[in-house]
Amino acid sequence: MWSFFHKLGSPPWLYRISGSILRWLLPLTLLALVAGSVWGLLFTAPDFRQGNSYRIIYIHVPAAVVALAGYYVMAIAGAVSLIWRMKMADIAMRACAPIGAALTFVALVTGSIWGKPTWGTWWVWDARITSMLILLFLYLGVVALYEAYENKALAAKACAVLSLVGTVNIPIIYKSVDWWYSLHQPASIKFTGGSTIDPSMLYPLLFMIVTFYALFTCSLLLNMRAEILQREARTGWVRRLAGEREPG
Amino acid sequence: MYFESLSAVLQMDGHGGFVWSAYLITLVVIVYILYAPRRREQRFLRQLRGQIRRNSGAAAPVREES
């Protein structure tokens, strides 16, 4: 167990292992994205009330779910980097922020597009939507804060604190549809009690949620690899790597 | 398959514009989050290679002449 943690803290090991994971995970994820989209777009029946516009659910919900989960990953990595000064945790925290921002953006934009035919408006200052917008700003805040500091150790500390403080927003997003009168529909999938979604729509949705988790993992690993190389630029293994890849 | 023709797939009973634009925007973002870190890594390695080459060139200019 300890040797695993020891390895996890080793940049060359993580760079190598992430490379071999990505070699199969990335093509598999792309294939699943295509398969899941085709399933949701063409092989499911339309919603009895919303018609075909509901098909946006197969990207909207997975993007939103993984955007929230990504925030947990970022905050936990931030806490680890703050408490144990683990270099890899700091790298992981920083890698989460742009992906989380991108997925939150997707959730907001697809939600807005879905809102037009369903609610008759592109945007409302609704509790769920506003708290998601705050999530986007938190992610962008971490990205910007990191760039603002010249001293990267200080930047890591500031970003970790920001991401930890921002976790307050997560339960607000989850509960927003229950706490406030909201235009946004309540959760369709429930782990306790019955889901309010037909299995023929639930399965492609679950499939896409898993696929978006895989997508997040792929992008996280790719971002971490780039970050590892830049931070380890002066070490022998990175210089050897640069030399090996020289064409000709 | 639910739809009967390609035009039905594209139109989706009037919701096609909404559905397809949502999927298209998502596709662009997905391509970006996978491509951007890759490009950053490649660009860094290229820079580092250039730097290594310059340093080794500066350290041994005499050898090249002789």
What ipTM describes this predicted complex?
A: 0.88
Domain assignment present for residue B45? The answer is: yes
Contacts of B38 in chain A (CB under 8 A): 222, 226
Q: Which of A94, A110, A234, A244 to mutate to test the interface with B (most CBs of B within 10 A)?
A: A110
Q: What is the DSSP letter of B14?
A: G
Contact at CB, A222 and B32, closer than 8 angstroms: no
Rounded to a whole number of angstroms, the distance from the CA of A168 to the nearest CA of chain B is: 26
- The answer to whether A62 touches A44, Cβ cutoff 8 Å, is no
Domain count, chain B: 1
Which residue of chain B comes nearest to A113, CA vs CA? B18
Confidence of residue B66 (pLDDT cuts 50, 70, 90): very low
Average pLDDT for B15-30: 92
Question: Which pTM value belongs to this model?
Answer: 0.90
Residues of chain A under the 70 pLDDT cut: 1-2, 5, 190-195, 245-248
Domain that holds residue B35: 7-57
Say yes or no: B33 contacts chain A, CB-CB below 8 A. Answer: yes
Taking the CA of residue B66 and the nearest CA in chain A, the distance in Å comes to 24
Sorted by where each begins, the domain ranges of chain A are 11-45+54-237
Greater confidence (A27 vs B8) lies with A27
Supply the pLDDT for residue B4: 76
Is B63 part of any domain? no
Asked if residue B12 belongs to a domain, the reply is yes
